[in-house]
Structure formats: C-alpha cells, structure tokens
Amino acid sequence: MQLQTIRPNIVQSIRAYRVEDLMEAAQAAGQHFLYANLANAQGKQDALESIAKAFTFPEHFGKNLDALYDCMTDLVNKAGQQPGFVVVLEQLPDNPRFDREAREQLLDVFRDAADFWAERRIPFRCFYSFQ
C-alpha cells in the first residue's frame, strides 16, 4: 500500500485497511506511526490514558481533550520539522460511559489536529475502529 493513494489530513474508519499495512506504509514513507488499542477503555478518561501511554506523551499530560490536542499539535510541532503521521485508534469504546457524543468529541480532536498539520503541509492520517 502507498500512502499517496490515501488523502492526507483525514480522519476516517479503518474498514478498508489493515493496521499492519498502514504501519508498513508509514515506515516506507518515513512517517510517524502512532497506534493505540482502546479495547480496555471504559470511559473518556480510560481512552485518554490509553492514548497517552501508547503515544508516550509526557508525564505532565493533563488527560483531557485540550491536552490531547496540544500533544498532537503544538508539542510535536515545537520538536522540529515533521515527516507526517499515520495514527490508528483501534477499538474505540461503545458503551454508556463512552457514547457516540464522547467518541465524536475524541475524533474531533484528531480532525482538528489534521487541520493543524494541513496548514503546515504535513500529512496527518487518522484511522479508527469501534469495539
């Protein structure tokens, strides 16, 4: 698989892709590959903690949506020139503690991050699946 065939700066369902193929494509393109499996998350806090651990966010990560945005954008941008990103959020929770609204709020952070990187002409592709 070639990343050039996937529109840059998008957040979409992973349905048509396999995680392994996305990882290999990111590596071949020299881009960051960030993967989080959220199968054990029950609520928003669990999901944020799982993402923070998987993406190795700094210890001071605030475990809220604003802090997630900051870590996915400003913090990384200040680290220097970036080659691009392929992000996979696998098994987003689907339960009363993490309902459709909570999932959309989380995905909105990644949509905003995609816009942030698009303004800088850096590809940012995020794929997700539900439990």
Percent of the chain with pLDDT over 70: 99
Mean pLDDT of 8-35: 95
Q: What is the pLDDT of residue 78?
A: 78
Helix (H) or strand (E) holding 21: helix 19-29
Residue 120 within a domain: yes
Q: What is the pLDDT of residue 74?
A: 86
CATH of the domain at 110: 3.30.370
The three-class DSSP label of residue 119 is: helix
**Mean pLDDT over the full length of the chain:** 93
* Residue 1 in this model has a pLDDT that exceeds 80: no
- pLDDT digit string (tens) for 88-120? 999 999 899 999 999 999 999 999 999 999 999
Q: What is the pLDDT of residue 53?
A: 95
* Residue 25 in this model has a pLDDT that exceeds 80: yes
DSSP state at residue 9: S
Residue 1 within a domain: no
Q: What is the pLDDT of residue 5?
A: 87
**Would you say the C-alpha torsion 104, 105, 106, 112 has a positive or negative sign?**
positive
Q: What is the DSSP string of 42-71?
A: -SHHHHHHHHHHHTT--TT--SSHHHHHHH
Domain that holds residue 32: 7-80+97-130
* CA 77/CA 52 separation, integer angstroms: 17
Q: Is the CB of residue 122 less than 8 Å from the CB of residue 84?
A: yes
- pLDDT digit string (tens) for 52-81? 999 999 888 888 999 999 999 987 877 788
Q: How many domains does the chain have?
A: 1
Give the number of other Cβ atoms within 10 Å of residue 53's Cβ: 11
Residue 115 within a domain: yes
